[in-house]
């Protein structure tokens, strides 16, 4: 294997801000990035550019709603497929419930409606008709307004109450893939949109223990999925009461660290106790012939995971999609700039594509997939194609020219490396090793993200250090701060309020299976001096 | 192979209307059906019972919206997976567009908004707040109401206008899997619901010819899918202007015959001409450097297909799911009623299940699947389990008792046969032949449905015979009439209006690739005596 840096002239990214970035690079042969601004220059804008440049999503004319473009949607389809397999392996079945929730249903659980009332899309009419000025106006008022589901506990619970008769019907383990709407005021593609796609699991159990076990099981399914498929290192833990799901007894979440050192809540699992069962009469005849209330859970992840993927792995040249979740593993780009060689180059590309497509690759969760390969036949220059795939983040981007044909070689960039770093290899070696190369990229991405998370997590034992940790060093880059603080907390909500008001920092979770730098165990809360059972994760967050 | 009729006492269906049906049966050993009423007794009610008994769907508390239950949803997932494969093979990519359509977008195409205005769910507010009497009322009025998409031509077209620059961007071939809402007044599960799930293809082309070719290509994809996967014989054809999609130049549809001899429009493909391109400025720079309007198409099928599946194949004992679309192919039911044999029976069931799951089965469209097998371990009596699977329509339902274990045999019912007809076979023979048995069931279901369609189609050349054909013979069974009439039509819309008013009969389509009883070619319209280019399909419909 021969790794070398090359700088083909046709490989220049199209950079709108060329002059601006030229001085900030240290590499000699490649002096600019495909994405502007860079992460260091302006992280939030960099994220918006990534979403656009990688063909993940586009803004729509509908307030707060995005369009998920084909590459972004193909990633979502892979997320769906692999998660769905894990749900089914743990005994869940899919079903589909109405988009609309009668207002009275939402109102049954007091905390629940309180939590969602401010962001409801309300359907009030069921037709349009000609108004006095000739334009169409809403007509046919509904006797009871419908809310476009922000989450489905109440409508699904109503059906559960109808379906469940006896302990023999339990556990009832249902999942729904659906769109939901929460009318957020400030939106950002994937991270916070008025409409988003998600799955919501809803389960019913005969005992509190069973429901608690389910809550934790699904949290672990999420973590395993994120770590194994998406190469995103996850800290799981319980939320404090201030960040609990409206109507839940306990909320647990996944909290990966993004590249701006903020936490992103990437999925939640709720133990709902008997709160919904009681207001919705979800009851069953137990083994002693007694009618009792059931125990329920709910859990969900959404298209937000695509935001997490981008902010974990993408770099200043574009998206990086881990192989196990990538819609395309290998892109083959025919370099047709030498007259008379076109046919042999194309033939080589297509036969290589065919050969690679017959190889299988373990995409995690015990599932094999054939290697996904594409020959990019678009009517564009080779260099434009190369950069479009670097920006999309396909794991391996290969350029095939006449020299590769005569040497029976391949020449490619691994997207976990810098675009300038390309490898030449014999075609046979590449084909034989493709699964290993993909595995290696997957592992490298996870290791890199875990290293970043650890480097930016700190055990903090004094209030002063805590405040310093979260204060940006440079006022021009207010995004850059310490990261995760692993700090004692006495349990007093007023501490949470204070650090939130002062620093915009919250407790992300009380972690589970986490013992950073072996600093676990009881201690003293640096904010109050009172005893603390254990450390928690403080961070800024999305 | 040994086919025999048996009547095990535990196999009695639970029939609410036992006495009512007992006299209507001819079979000696089985005197009742699992579904009441039967098709002959009351077809519309039979359909509602099938939907319930087969675990396909349930009524929801939301007006006109159903809940798709796990078995129904699993069928939908199989429809999605196989159709999606066919879409991708024909070059389409999936994407996702907003649920909401601004009112002004819908209004751009005059015919389009006219067609949908009467059935729009209108979002007018974006939050709930405490009203004067303490209850929550809609608040935060929107400056422009949003319509919950009834179809997405207008919102997707707005994005296409933004994305398309030059002929190099064409064709643009996009599909969306989504929920849509049409506020129908009279609803029926799967056939007509306020919310339904569907896919909608939207494509843009440089020329009218390309767009027409796409329209027909997707109509053929639908037909092949329905015939090969769902075993539903399809007649395709063009709609007359009275049944055209609002805003289309030409609408084509699939029109299978249901068991009550009515047609069900099961999918449509529209050539939209430049109608949407012109009002939405979908333009491109052609090869001569000129800005011109593009040509668009759209096409869709929905969860209505599950209704078509039920009304094509189900019988008086429940649903029958063709193997290629069935979530479970073989159900193994351990018969544990003989003390002391439980362990050997269970062991036999599980080892058989494992062995069968290793077999592959061609599920059509060139895709192999492993055979889907389930051992029914529910805490129910064996006979109850058998009947629950007959009602759900799993292709093969097997009962395993101690005698089968000692004989190394299997004893099963093929769902395309009467439930009383069961086959005994050596276990090895069954395992070896499982794919053939499933193929045979699939073929048998298709052949049976095609025979029914042909038997109930008639070439009709006189007005008198036409009226007689569509007049119910028995006033107590107004559903029972002739079926499809293959009849000449001069093209005059007043003929359509008249037969619709008189008989509730419409032209389902002007068929393509169809020449029933070699009666094709020009002739005379029996209604006007004027010349007719060709025969069309008249029928009652859903």
CATH of the domain at A362: 3.40.50.800
DSSP β-bridge partners for residue B412: B398, B423
Domain of A420?
328-439
A332 with A292, same domain: the answer is no
Look-up of token digits 């961007």:
B169
Among candidate residues B258, B293, B311, the one where a domain is terminated: B311
At B21 the pLDDT is 39
At A368 the pLDDT is 83
Check pLDDT > 70 for residue A15: no
User: Mean per-residue pLDDT for B278-293?
Assistant: 97
Phi, psi of A355 (to 5 degrees): -65, -45
Look-up of token digits 């029109």:
B255
Check pLDDT > 60 for residue A520: yes
- What percentage of chain B reaches a pLDDT higher than 90? 86
Instruction: Please tell me the pTM assigned to this model.
Output: 0.94
User: Mean per-residue pLDDT for A489-511?
Assistant: 97
Locate the chain B residue with the closest alpha carbon to A167. Answer: B379
A422 with A523, same domain: the answer is no
pLDDT band at B254 (very low <50, low <70, confident <90, very high): very high
B447 with B518, same domain: the answer is no
At B480 the pLDDT is 67
CATH of the domain at B204: 3.30.930.10
* Three-state secondary-structure class, residue B172: strand
B52 and A CB contact within 8 Å: no
B490 with B535, same domain: the answer is yes
Alpha-carbon gap: A381 to the closest alpha carbon of chain B (Å): 13
Q: Is residue A80 one of the residues assigned to a domain?
A: yes
Residues B38-48 have pLDDT tens digits of 999 999 999 99
B422 with B485, same domain: the answer is no
Tell me the average pLDDT of chain B.
Answer: 92
Task: Please provide the distance, in angstroms rounded to a whole number, between the alpha carbons at the two ends of chain A.
Answer: 42
Query: Which pair of structure tokens corresponds to residue B410?
Result: 């299997």
At B477 the pLDDT is 64
CB pairs under 8 A between A and B: 192
A188 with A99, same domain: the answer is yes
A304 with A423, same domain: the answer is no
Helix-, strand-, coil-residue percentages of chain B, each rounded to 5: 35, 30, 35
Residues A327-367 have pLDDT tens digits of 999 999 999 988 899 999 999 999 999 999 999 999 887 78
Q: Is residue B34 one of the residues assigned to a domain?
A: no
CATH of the domain at A503: 3.30.110.30
Tell me the average pLDDT of chain A.
Answer: 92
Residues A262-312 have pLDDT tens digits of 999 999 999 999 999 999 999 999 999 999 999 999 999 999 999 999 999
> Which of the residues B77, B100, B115, B190 would you substitute to probe the A interface, choosing the one with the greatest number of A C-beta atoms within 10 Å?
B100
**A223, A236 Cβ separation under 8 angstroms:** yes
Name every chain A residue with its beta carbon within 8 A of the beta carbon of B94.
70, 73-74, 77
pLDDT band at A479 (very low <50, low <70, confident <90, very high): low
C-alpha closest to that of B414 among B334, B351, B330, B345: B330
> Rounded to an integer, what distance in angstroms lies between the CA atom of residue A117 and that of residue A287?
39
> Rounded to an integer, what distance in angstroms lies between the CA atom of residue A456 and that of residue A481?
9
Among candidate residues B455, B474, B496, the one where a domain is terminated: B455
Q: Is residue B133 one of the residues assigned to a domain?
A: no
Q: Is residue B402 one of the residues assigned to a domain?
A: yes
- What percentage of chain A reaches a pLDDT higher than 90? 86
Looking from the CA of A411 toward its CB, the CA atoms found within 13 Å total: 20
Check pLDDT > 60 for residue A450: yes
Residues B98-156 have pLDDT tens digits of 999 999 999 988 888 999 999 999 999 999 999 998 889 999 999 999 999 999 999 99
B260 CB-near residues (< 8 Å, 6+ apart)? B39, B43, B311, B479, B480
At B28 the pLDDT is 39
At B368 the pLDDT is 83
Alpha-carbon gap: B285 to the closest alpha carbon of chain A (Å): 15
Locate the chain B residue with the closest alpha carbon to A154. Answer: B61
At A148 the pLDDT is 98
Q: Is residue B44 one of the residues assigned to a domain?
A: no
A173 and B CB contact within 8 Å: no
At B135 the pLDDT is 87
B284 and A CB contact within 8 Å: no
DSSP β-bridge partners for residue B141: B125
Check pLDDT > 60 for residue A30: no
A165 and B CB contact within 8 Å: no
Q: Is the peptide bond before A51 cis (omega within 30 degrees of 0)?
A: no
At A48 the pLDDT is 97
Q: Is residue A5 one of the residues assigned to a domain?
A: no
Name every chain A residue with its beta carbon within 8 A of the beta carbon of B106.
128
Name every chain A residue with its beta carbon within 8 A of the beta carbon of B179.
99, 178-179
Widest distance between CA atoms in chain B:
85
Residues B152-183 have pLDDT tens digits of 999 999 999 999 999 999 999 999 999 999 99
At B7 the pLDDT is 40
User: Mean per-residue pLDDT for B228-254?
Assistant: 96
Q: Is A34 exposed, middle or buried (0-12, 13-18, 19+ CB in 10 A)?
A: buried
Residues B403-431 have pLDDT tens digits of 999 999 999 999 999 999 999 999 999 99
User: What dihedral do alpha carbons B55, B61, B66, B67 form, nearest 10°?
Assistant: -50
Alpha-carbon gap: A425 to the closest alpha carbon of chain B (Å): 32
Q: Of the ranges A18-22, A454-458, B501-505, which one carries the lowest mean pLDDT score?
A: A18-22
B327 with B381, same domain: the answer is yes
Provide the 10 A C-beta neighbour count for residue B469.
18
Calculate ∠ Cα B462-B467-B473, nearest 5°.
Answer: 130
Bridge-based pairing of strands B195-205 and A2-5 is unpaired
**A88, A322 Cβ separation under 8 angstroms:** no
A185 CB-near residues (< 8 Å, 6+ apart)? none
Buried-exposed string A206-215: b where 16+ CB fall within 10 A, e elsewhere: beeebbbebb
In this complex, the residue of A65, A95, A178 whose CB is nearest that of residue B98 is: A65
- What percentage of chain B reaches a pLDDT higher than 70? 93
Alpha-carbon gap: B236 to the closest alpha carbon of chain A (Å): 30
At B475 the pLDDT is 66
Tell if the CB–CB gap between B126 and A124 is shorter than 8 Å.
no
Q: Which helix (H) or strand (E) holds B450?
A: helix B427-455
Tell if the CB–CB gap between B121 and A128 is shorter than 8 Å.
no
Residues A65-94 have pLDDT tens digits of 999 999 999 999 999 999 999 999 999 999
Tell if the CB–CB gap between B123 and A120 is shorter than 8 Å.
no
Name every chain A residue with its beta carbon within 8 A of the beta carbon of B60.
97-98, 155, 158-159
At A133 the pLDDT is 86
At A477 the pLDDT is 63
A430 CB-near residues (< 8 Å, 6+ apart)? A410, A412, A437
A215 with A267, same domain: the answer is yes
At A134 the pLDDT is 83
Residues B171-218 have pLDDT tens digits of 999 999 999 999 988 999 999 999 999 999 999 999 999 999 999 999
At A325 the pLDDT is 97
Tell if the CB–CB gap between A100 and B124 is shorter than 8 Å.
no
A171 with A226, same domain: the answer is yes
B288 with B327, same domain: the answer is no
C-alpha closest to that of A454 among A537, A343, A337: A537
Check pLDDT > 80 for residue B241: yes
Residues B66-93 have pLDDT tens digits of 999 999 999 999 999 999 999 999 999 9
Query: Which pair of structure tokens corresponds to residue B188?
Result: 């029926």
Count the domains in chain A. 3
Q: Is residue A507 one of the residues assigned to a domain?
A: yes
At A364 the pLDDT is 83
A335 with A261, same domain: the answer is no
Residues B288-307 have pLDDT tens digits of 999 999 999 999 999 999 99
Name every chain B residue with its beta carbon within 8 A of the beta carbon of A58.
159, 162-163
User: Mean per-residue pLDDT for A214-223?
Assistant: 98
At B15 the pLDDT is 44
Q: In what order do the strands lie in the sheet with A409-414?
A: A2-5, A421-426, A409-414, A396-400, A330-334, A373-375
A69 CB-near residues (< 8 Å, 6+ apart)? A55, A56, A57, A58, B95
Among candidate residues B269, B294, B311, the one where a domain is terminated: B311
Q: Is residue A33 one of the residues assigned to a domain?
A: no
User: Mean per-residue pLDDT for A491-515?
Assistant: 96
At B332 the pLDDT is 98
Query: Which pair of structure tokens corresponds to residue A149?
Result: 């589901």
For residue A53, give Cα distances in angstroms to A15, A58, A71, A181, A320.
11, 10, 11, 26, 12
Check pLDDT > 60 for residue A181: yes
Tell which wins on pLDDT, A472 or A141: A141
């Amino acid at each position: 294997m021969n790794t070398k840096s090359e700088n083909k002239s046709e490989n220049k990214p199209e950079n709108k801000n060329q002059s601006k970035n030229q001085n900030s690079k240290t590499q000699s042969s490649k002096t600019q990035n495909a994405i502007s601004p860079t992460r260091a220059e302006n992280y939030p804008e960099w994220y918006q550019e990534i979403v656009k440049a990688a063909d993940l999503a586009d803004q729509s004319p509908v307030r707060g709603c995005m369009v998920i473009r084909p590459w972004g949607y193909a990633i979502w389809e892979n997320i769906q497929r692999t998660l769905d397999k894990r749900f089914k392996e743990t005994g869940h079945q899919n079903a589909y419930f109405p988009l609309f929730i009668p207002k009275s249903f939402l109102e049954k659980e007091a905390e629940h409606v309180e939590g969602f009332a401010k962001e409801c899309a309300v359907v009030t009419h069921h037709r349009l008709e000609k108004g006095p000025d000739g334009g169409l106006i809403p007509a046919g008022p509904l006797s009871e307004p419908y809310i476009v589901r922000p989450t489905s506990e109440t409508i699904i619970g109503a059906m559960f109450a109808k379906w469940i008769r006896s302990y023999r019907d339990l556990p009832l383990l249902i999942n729904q893939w659906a769109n939901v709407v929460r009318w957020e005021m400030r939106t950002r593609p994937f991270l916070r949109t008025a409409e988003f796609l998600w799955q919501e699991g809803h389960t019913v159990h005969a005992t509190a223990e069973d429901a608690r076990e389910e809550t934790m099981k699904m949290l672990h399914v999420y973590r395993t999925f994120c770590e194994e498929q998406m190469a995103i290192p996850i800290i799981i833990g319980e939320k404090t009461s201030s960040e609990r799901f409206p109507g839940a007894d306990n909320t647990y979440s996944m909290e990966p660290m993004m590249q701006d050192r903020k936490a992103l809540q990437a999925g939640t699992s709720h133990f709902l106790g008997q709160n919904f069962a009681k207001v919705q009469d979800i009851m069953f005849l137990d083994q002693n012939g007694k009618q009792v209330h059931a125990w329920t859970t709910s859990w969900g992840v959404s298209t937000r995971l695509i935001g997490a993927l981008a902010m974990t792995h993408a770099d200043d040249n574009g998206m990086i999609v881990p192989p196990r979740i990538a819609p395309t593993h290998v892109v083959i780009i025919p370099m047709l700039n030498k007259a008379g060689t076109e046919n042999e180059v194309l033939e080589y590309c297509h036969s290589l594509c065919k050969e690679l497509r017959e190889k299988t690759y373990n995409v995690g969760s015990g599932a094999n997939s054939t290697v996904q390969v594409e020959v990019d036949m678009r009517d564009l220059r080779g260099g434009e194609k190369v950069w479009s795939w670097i920006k999309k983040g396909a794991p391996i981007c290969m350029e095939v020219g006449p020299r590769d044909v005569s040497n029976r070689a391949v020449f490619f960039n691994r997207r976990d490396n810098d675009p300038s770093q390309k490898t030449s290899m014999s075609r046979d070696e590449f084909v034989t090793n493709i699964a290993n190369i993909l595995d290696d990229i997957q592992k490298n991405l996870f290791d890199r993200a875990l290293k970043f998370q650890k480097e930016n997590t700190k055990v903090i034992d004094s209030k002063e250090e805590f405040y310093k940790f979260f204060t940006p060093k440079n006022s021009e880059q207010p995004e850059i701060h310490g990261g995760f603080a692993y700090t004692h907390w006495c349990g007093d909500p007023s501490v949470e309020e204070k650090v939130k008001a002062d620093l915009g920092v919250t407790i992300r979770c009380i972690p589970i299976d986490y013992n950073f730098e072996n600093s676990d165990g009881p201690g003293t809360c640096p904010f109050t001096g009172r005893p603390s059972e254990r450390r928690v994760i403080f961070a800024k967050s999305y």
